[in-house]
Each structure stands twice: as structure tokens, then as C-alpha cells.
Chains A and B, each alone.
Chain A
């Protein structure tokens, strides 16, 4: 044998991708087929789902009309030191085996993502969008994945080829039956606005507060007797929020992709998410968790609204876990095996009854609660979470004669004002990653929240009577800034600050 003849190796390499939170890392699947007793092993810190890939890969190869080598087969997921999870490596391992045994005669260049069925079919996996984006950032722009994931991969910007079976994948790679890349799907249409503000009578102040929350990203608490329209008001919020911008859409869609919640045909979100977890939700459901950590409701609502109905009914320790994401705009979930960081910048909307029976202050029905019980009910909310709620508004029961039809604004008209206000905020915060007045830093509050004489007098009075801490003043000023933005005013007027103080309860 000539010395310089190329050494025929039987190691095949296929690109794939692992995911920790939203962080994608390239994984090279190396498959070696060597002489020895028939054996098939997967190494490189696989989890149970990956170890079980052996059975799926073996059956899929056989049932696709190929031959599974009766030799010693080792698949390595490199880099080997990080834990990997999920069934998304099946396709890469199978193609690696076929390449190593020369049943596939060309090298596999695209990123391969997909789970195999025993009959050789290719199934979709979660988290395709962030993985494809990670691969794109590293220069891999072609993706081979399940047909149902193709639109999602295309939406992330890759040349995505969807296949239904392992055979189709091999035929495509070998050039026997080349498939055309999937078209970039249209973004998911905004959900037909379930509730329009024009459908809600009266409630001028709650509607105003809703508009302020939508524009400035301030958190809002709606309180009132049952049946007065708190939930209806909250559900009108998505209809007046501005559309997602491109960056937000990609991140929000990626989170939904990781959670397996995207519509396969329309994977890119356009409308802001609106999440409404039930009050029995655990803290893991709310902020995310598990091993590996999955995103929770607060991350799924990223760039949108998180609606907590019946706020005092949530377990207190569950609500307390919301403090960090509300403050930081993201949540880091640390587990022994891995840590994941998910963004969690939400507009919090909460609703509550004024007392356990719901009828305190309700002229239509007597309240049957003892005064101490009402106080305990309110005390459940006191503390750090309530401190982060900038707008608290009472939603009273309306008399029949208040239910008039004229002069109601539509959500569309309100949204116009919100959009204009957001534009002013964007101009102000240009160059930072922050978008809303709720995210203004203390220094920015000083620069941007200039008040007129009437407002100044009010602020001074508040400080003098010690009804307001410096922190309270800052929070009120952020809200007042939004109110002035909605009125297209550069200066904060006295009445803007008055409304902000009133909605905050001046505490």
C-alpha cells in the first residue's frame, strides 16, 4: 500500500445544534463505524431521550430500506462536556451512520434537526428557531429538518429544506431528488381583537389607566366587584398595544418555539403575547423551571402582557418569585445540570376583588366580610409586589343609566395615541435596548421628566408632607412622563403628575 494514499476513515460528521434556554450552541455529531462486536452507543453527555435515539435510529434506518451496520457504531455529540437534551439529534445521528457506511455518498453540510419515527419518518422538534438563529450566526445557512419545522427555520432566515422521511433526506442530499427550500412564511396574523374598548361602557379612569399601561409598559391593577368588567378590560389590552418590532418578534417567537407553542405554518409572532395563567399556577409554571429549564408564563409573555386574574388567590410565594423578573426584565433559572436565561419584560396586568366576597363598596350587594377579613385579604398583596404596581384603579359597578353608547372610543383610536407615544419614547431612548418609560433609569428620569410649575408645586407638597418617598416620586414621574407622551407634550404638566399620583395611590 502506498504511503501517501489517503487513509480511508469511517468517521462521518454532521452539524446539529443544542439549546440551553435561548442560547444555542453548535454540536457536531461524529459517527464512527468500526469492526467489532455489533454495538451502538451514543456518548457526549446525552440525556435519556438521546440515549433512546439508538433504538429510533436503528429502526428508522432499517425501515427506510437502508442497512444498519452489524459493526461497532459510536456516535459522539461534540463538545462532549455539556449536557444535551431532547430528540432533535436523531436525524443527524442517522445521517452520520449512513455517511459512515457509505450508503450516503456525499458529506452532509446542512444543519440537521429532527426526531425519527420507527418507520423512518421525520418528526418536528421544539426550539428550531433559536437553534437556526444560532447556526446562522456561525455561518451555517442551510437547514435540513422535519417538514413541519421548515417554515419555522425559514422564518429564522435560513434556507430550510423540510423532509417527511429519512429517505427523502438522503435523496435530497445525494442530489437524486432535490427539494426546494421552504418559503418564508407570513407572520402570524394578529388575533382578531377579542375585546374592543368601544364594547365597554363607562369606566373612564380604568380605560385611561389601560392606555397608560399599554403606552409606557407600567404595571396595572384593576380592582372591583365581580362582573364589573375587570377581565374584559384586561383582555382589551393586546388590542391597544403597539405591534412587535422585528427584534422583539424574533425573541418572543424563539421563546414560544422552545416551549413548543408555535403554529407550524405561522411561526413568527406578530401580535404581542397575552398570557393569563390560572391562580393555581405553581412558581415553576410562572417563572419557568424543570431540568433542563423551560420558559414560564412570565417569559412566554415577554414583550407582551401577563394577566393575573384574582391576584390575591395566587400563592404568596408564587407571586414573590415574580419580583426578580419584573425588576430585571429577565429570569435566570439555575439548575444543577444547566442554567438558562429567558427574557421576561412584561406589562403586568392584575385583577382582584375588593374583599373575599367581592362586594365591598358595591352598592348592588351587601358585603358579608368582616373588616379584619378584608384587611387580611389586602395584606396578602402588601409588600414588594404591590410596590411594583404603578397603576391601581377601582372598577365600580355601573348603574344602568351609565351604560350609554355614545362617545366610546375604539381600540384603534386609542392605539394610534399609544403608537405616537411609543414613537416619542423611542426617540428619547434611542441607542439603548429599552423601549418604554417604565424602564427609564433614575438618571433618565432626572433628564427627561421636566415638570411645569403646577406639577412642581404638587411634587414639592408631596415631599413636604412626607406622603411620598423619593423612590415613589420617581415612579410617579415615569407614569406622568407616559401621560404627557400620550398628550404629545414635552413637559409634564401638573395634571399629568396629579393623574399619576392618583393612579399610584401616592404611596
Chain B
């Protein structure tokens, strides 16, 4: 882990746009990744299956185009974005709202196995040093760093009062391009993003190439993960379902569907959840 002062030549120049650039900036991982073109993909921690899929697909599109994915490594959308970038073979930068040491020692659950993967191909960065206790304002403050690092910011899902809306505000102030992903009406997790679009604060993101064009990615071969042709896998695009729900979506049932699911299970294309539902792997 190293600390960079703003005067350092390898300090990411994008951060100099900030009113008060992080001093020092703590980095755990590859430094040069911070100089590459990047898109931030952020959103609520209380994501839906739809948000998880979109965040993942956008991150994979970035990875395919060689664009770095920046996010805040919170639960939910942020984690889905980091994971999508890694699974797509791309690079990703996690901007933490606490010190790197604190985060590394306290992180649990699904995020924990991502830490070494991020450090190996990208970086964990933070503007906070070890003894500091993470607070609401530390996370709010790092949101500005996320916005500054990226040339475009995509808010995938944000409910009312979501921290991602602070990132959106910072993005506008810094003059970066702001996208919001339109969501279903009535979905609590899309109230904030739909409002950003309705108020004209953000451009509606309708396809990944919109965001890639902003960062100047020319690679046309960056088509997002194509929709699966298997009806069972297609039914599970927007989150885990139980057997009867899959049967309903696929308009299939009986022994045929069960044999299909069992085969996908033993092949590892589906994974069981503890509550009897299945999710795509």
C-alpha cells in the first residue's frame, strides 16, 4: 500500500479537478490503472434483481471495451459492478469510504473474496487513514472522488435518499457526464434514477455504447452479454426464482422442466439458494 501526494507525478490528474484533492491518496494495487479512461457505475445497496443484472452487464461491456470500472465497493449495485468488471476480464477501482486497513479487516460476506481480485488487476483506493472510524460523511466525501475519477457516471438504481444521488450531484458539479438507468415505475429502487431523468439532470442510459462513446471507446465489439437462449436461464435474468415461478415464466412444466433445471444445476449453470430458489451463476 502506498500514499500519493497531489504533487506526485503519478497522482491521478482527474482528481485535481476536485476542490480539495485527496491528500494523500492511499492506493493498494496497480497505480497506472488510475490514469486510464474510466466509467463509474454506482447505485443503491438495496438493489433489485433488475439492477444487479444491469450493473453487471454494463460493467462487462466496459471490461470488453478496455474501460476501467470505478465504484464505491458498497453492498448491492457497487459490488455487482466490480464483480461484473472482474468476471469480464477488465479492470476495476474501488473507492472506499474508510481506510483500506479497516475495510480489509472488517469486510465480510460476498465482498470479501473480491478484495484480492480487485487488488490483483485494479486497485483499492481511499483518502482516509487507519484510525478513522467510517462515518456517513466519509462515504459522502468519497462519492466526489468516484465522480472525479470517471469521465462518465452511471447511476443504475437509487431509491429516495440513496447515497448514489450524492454521487450524481457531485458529477454535475464536476461537469462529468451523468447517466441514469430508467427503471420500472413503482420500483422503490428506481425512484431516484427516474427522477434524475425526468428533471433533466441525467441522460437516460438506453444501451451500453452510449456510455462507452463518452469515454471514447471505439471498440465496436463491446456488445453486452447476449440474452441467454435457454428459457430457464432467461427467466432467471432478473434475479432468483423458485421452481414454480420458473415454470410460470417459461410456460413449461412437469418432468421436462425439472429435468432441464436439474441438468443446469449439475452443470453448475444454476446455483441453489438456501431458501429453495435458484440463481444464475
Q: Which of B189, B245, B266, B276 has a CB less than 8 Å from the CB of A458?
A: B266
Q: How far is the CB of A205 from chain B (nearest CB, A)?
A: 5
Question: B258 near A366 (CB under 8 angstroms)?
Answer: no
B110→A371 contact, CB < 8 A = yes
Give the number of residue pairs across the A-B interface with Cβ within 8 Å: 134
Which residues of A are found within 8 Å of B245, using beta-carbon distances?
394, 396
CA distance A205 to B109 in the complex (A): 31
Q: Which residues of B contact A461 (CB under 8 A)?
A: 263, 266-267
Are A506 and B266 within 8 A (Cβ)?
yes
Q: Which residues of B contact A360 (CB under 8 A)?
A: 275
Measured in the bound complex, the distance between the Cα atoms of B268 and A352 in whole Å is 25
Q: Cβ of B88: which chain A residues have Cβ within 8 Å of it?
A: none
Cβ of B242 within 8 Å of any chain A Cβ, yes or no, is yes
- Distance in angstroms between the alpha carbons of A412 and B180 in the assembled complex: 56
B133 contacts A by Cβ under 8 Å:
no
A420 adjacent to chain B (CB < 8 Å): no
* B243: Cβ under 8 A from any A Cβ: yes
Tell me if B207 is interfacial: C-beta within 8 Å of chain A: no
| B210 contacts A by Cβ under 8 Å | no
Q: Interface size for chain A: under 10, 10 to 19, 20 to 34, or 35 or more residues?
A: 35 or more
Contact with A506, one of B243, B265, B277 (Cβ below 8 angstroms): B265
The answer to whether A396 touches B244, judged by C-beta atoms less than 8 angstroms apart, is yes
Q: How far is the CB of B237 from chain A (nearest CB, A)?
A: 14
Near A by CB (< 8 A), chain B positions 240-271 give 240-245, 247-248, 253, 255, 258-259, 261-263, 265-268
Contact A396 B259, beta carbon cutoff 8 Å = no
Q: Complex formed: what's the CA distance from A498 to B253 in Å?
A: 13
Chain A interface mostly:
mixed
Q: Determine, out of A21-29, A114-122, A177-185, A376-384, the stretch whose residues face the partner at the interface.
A: A376-384
Q: Is the CB of B275 within 8 A of A224?
A: yes
Question: Is the Cβ of B266 less than 8 Å from the Cβ of A382?
Answer: no
B84 smallest CB distance to A (angstroms): 15
Q: Per-residue CB proximity of A343-387 to B under 8 Å, as 1/0?
A: 000000000111000001100001111111001101001100010
B163 within 8 Å of A by Cβ?
A: no
Determine if A501 is an interface residue (Cβ-Cβ < 8 Å): yes
Contact residues in B for A190 (Cβ distance below 8 Å): none
Whether B243 pairs with A495 at a CB distance below 8 angstroms is no
A156 sits at the interface (CB 8 A): no
Q: Does B138 contact A (CB under 8 A)?
A: no
> When A205-B243, A223-B276 are in contact, do A370 and B262 touch as well, CB less than 8 Å?
no
A366 in contact with B188 given A394-B243, A465-B268 (CB within 8 Å): yes
B76 at the interface (CB under 8 A from A): yes
Q: How far is the CA of A175 from the CA of B245 in the complex (A)?
A: 74
Residue of B nearest to A207 (CB): B244
Q: Does A95 reach chain B (CB closer than 8 Å)?
A: no
A458 and B262 contact, CB distance less than 8 A: yes
What CA separation (Å) do A378 and B274 show in the bound complex? 6
Pairs A-B, 8 closest by C-beta atoms: A394-B242, A505-B272, A223-B275, A498-B262, A394-B276, A462-B266, A495-B255, A378-B274
A-B contact pairs, 27 of them (CB 8 A): A203-B244, A204-B253, A205-B242, A206-B244, A224-B275, A224-B276, A361-B242, A366-B46, A367-B46, A369-B46, A370-B76, A372-B108, A372-B110, A375-B109, A375-B110, A393-B242, A394-B243, A394-B245, A394-B276, A395-B276, A396-B242, A458-B266, A461-B266, A467-B267, A498-B258, A498-B262, A498-B263
Residues of A bordering B, CB below 8 Å: 202-206, 221-224, 352-354, 360-361, 366-372, 375-376, 378, 381-382, 386, 392-396, 402, 454, 458, 461-462, 465, 467-468, 494-495, 497-499, 501-502, 505-507
Binding site for A on B (CB under 8 A): 45-49, 75-76, 79, 108-111, 187-189, 239-245, 247-248, 253, 255, 258-259, 261-263, 265-268, 272-277
Q: Given contacts A205-B243, A396-B244, A468-B266, could you give 5 more A-B pairs where the C-beta distance is less than 8 Å?
A: A203-B244, A371-B110, A392-B272, A461-B263, A505-B276
